[in-house]
Amino acid sequence: MKIAVIGGGASGLFVASQLRGCDVTIFDGNEKCGKKLYITGKGRCNLTNNCDKETFLSNVVNGENFIQSAISRFLPINTIEFFEGLGLPLKTERGGRVFPVSDKSSDVIKTLEKACKGTAIKLNEKVLALSLASTGGFKVKTTCGEYRFDKVIIATGGKSYCATGSTGDGYKFAKMLGHSIIEPKPALAAIKLKESVKAMQGLPLKNVSLLALADGKKYSQFGEMLFTDEGITGPIVLTMSSYINRAKKVELYLDLKPALTPQQLDNRLLREFDEGKNKDLFNVMRTLLPKNFIEFFLYKLSLSPHRKINSVTLAEREKIVNGLKHFPLAYKELYPLDSGIITSGGVNLKEVNPSTMESKLCKGLYFVGEVLDIDCLTGGFNLQTAFATAYACSEAIKKEEKNGI
Ligand SMILES: Cc1cc2nc3c(=O)[nH]c(=O)nc-3n(C[C@H](O)[C@H](O)[C@H](O)COP(=O)(O)OP(=O)(O)OC[C@H]3O[C@@H](n4cnc5c(N)ncnc54)[C@H](O)[C@@H]3O)c2cc1C
């Protein structure tokens, strides 16, 4: 049985490693495999999360039901055992994030390549088209020629960070064979705002809560964010983007003092105002907010930073309290798909068998990794998804091969 794997990234290399001994050919358009893997985890590759199945599932944003079967059969511990078993020592950091002890993503790629020894890897060979062969199986047309395969595994990834080779070709191939695609959207992406925030670029806000109302649904994230040239980014923003990327209408609010109730905040303001009656509002706000944020904050509340405290009315004090607890940010859109850490959307899961990753529409066609409409939060969950889907696919193919199907 001749098997083609389109894409030599995380899922493609892993599925090929599990099919060692079978007649497998990997095609990758790049001059080397794993270009995206190389930049994962800021070059350190957070290859999985040292957690149980329930924790894993709670970090899946889309595709939770679909991934249940695959993740039950290939848990994070199996990923850890796989890499350590091949001589790559791993370590677990904050939040269960697993990295190679060497802190080098290149070591993860080398280990995967070692596990694929014997597999034909055709580099610099981009797949251009995929169709059914008249003699049965599939016709794979590449930049170098045309081939026939009995089975094809699409492991082309999503459509973000295109420079790494993941240009969304897998969606095209899936469509060629009758599949529908859930519109790809940026996920784990920064957010653009309508208002100008350039003056605050790089400014972090710590221990804040970001609230989003997206098509009527409420999401809240607590932690750190920071301003960019056109909007906001940072851990809570990236997470939030994954929840709101399919919504038509989004409103954003910041709770700048989540540990305090409005009453406690008002008491605190009263105390500060009492002690600084003749001071400018700007100076008093410095005890509550980072300096570079205050002008923006007061401007949005239509209050002059130069107002003397003794002229601030009760209604204006209430406005400040309300602003601190429920500060609106004018949502524009997410940063473009290419800049998202992952792609949300992809091959419609209704058309794929969740235990085998085989297409329900086209026998012998499989999808693994980010090309599927599955996306997870940061922490190693996306690579774990790539490995678990690849494992399920390889097990199904090996079973068929054993049964001579
Ligand atoms: C900056 C960044 C950091 C990240 N960090 C992490 C992290 O630390 N932990 C984590 O879990 N996830 C992380 N991710 C996400 C993770 O990298 C992806 O989810 C994962 O690589 C998906 O694996 P994949 O095999 O589906 O696709 P990819 O790894 O993208 O591989 C797809 C491969 O297919 C090839 N290809 C595409 N089209 C064709 C074609 N037509 N012909 C031939 N070859 C083709 C590409 O060249 C590429 O090599 C990060 C992503 C980015 C962008």
pLDDT at 405 over 90: no
Count CA within 13 A, CB hemisphere, residue 395: 15
pLDDT at 87 over 80: yes
Q: What tens digit of pLDDT does each residue of 214-234 get?
A: 999 999 999 999 999 999 999
Q: What tens digit of pLDDT does each residue of 107-151 get?
A: 999 999 999 999 999 999 999 999 999 999 999 999 999 999 999
Distances in Å between the alpha carbon of 350 and those of 179, 187, 244, 292? 10, 21, 22, 49
Residue 244's φ and ψ, nearest 5 degrees, are -105, 0
Q: What tens digit of pLDDT does each residue of 59-84 get?
A: 999 999 999 999 999 999 999 999 99
Residue nearest to atom 52 of ligand 1 (CA): 341
Could you tell me if the CB of 341 is within 6 A of ligand 1?
yes
Mean pLDDT of the chain: 97
- 81 alpha carbon to ligand 1 midpoint, in Å? 22
What's the pLDDT band for 401 if we cut at 50, 70, 90?
A: confident
The atom of ligand 1 lying closest to the CA of 156 is 34
Residue nearest to atom 8 of ligand 1 (CA): 41
Q: What tens digit of pLDDT does each residue of 33-68 get?
A: 999 999 999 999 999 999 999 999 999 999 999 999
Helix (H, G, I), strand (E, B) or coil at 299: helix
DSSP letter (8 states) at residue 67? H
Q: Among residues 74, 75, 114, 108, which one has the least CA distance to residue 91?
A: 108
Could you tell me if the CB of 186 is within 6 A of ligand 1?
no
Residue 87's φ and ψ, nearest 5 degrees, are 90, 20
AA identity, residue 160: S
The atom of ligand 1 lying closest to the CA of 380 is 11
- Burial (0-12, 13-18, 19+ Cβ within 10 Å), 274: exposed
Q: Return the best residue to mutate from 130, 366, 383, 394 for the ligand 1 pocket (most ligand atoms within 8 A of CB).
A: 383
Looking at the DSSP assignment, which residues form a beta bridge with residue 182?
Answer: 346
Residue 320: how many other CB atoms lie within 10 Å: 22
Q: Among residues 198, 223, 228, 200, which one has the least CA distance to residue 210?
A: 223
What architecture does CATH give domain 190-334? Orthogonal Bundle (1.10)
Q: Which two tokens stand for residue 222?
A: 């607590």
Determine what percent of the chain is predicted with pLDDT higher than 70: 100
Q: Which residues contact 357 (CB under 8 A, 6 or more apart)?
A: 70, 153, 366, 367, 368, 372, 389, 392, 393, 396
Looking at domain 2-184+344-402, its CATH class is alpha beta
Helix (H, G, I), strand (E, B) or coil at 220: strand
Residues of the chain with CATH 3.50.50.60: 2-184+344-402
- Between CA 316 and CA 302 the distance in angstroms is 10
How does 285-315 read in b/e, with b if 16+ C-beta sit within 10 Å?
beebbeeebbebbbeeeebeeebebeebeee
Strands (E), 143-242: 146-149, 151-154, 181-187, 191-193, 204-214, 217-227, 231-233
Could you tell me if the CB of 139 is within 6 A of ligand 1?
no
Q: Looking at residue 107, what is its pLDDT?
A: 98
Alpha helices, DSSP H only, in 212-290?
Answer: 235-244, 262-275, 281-285
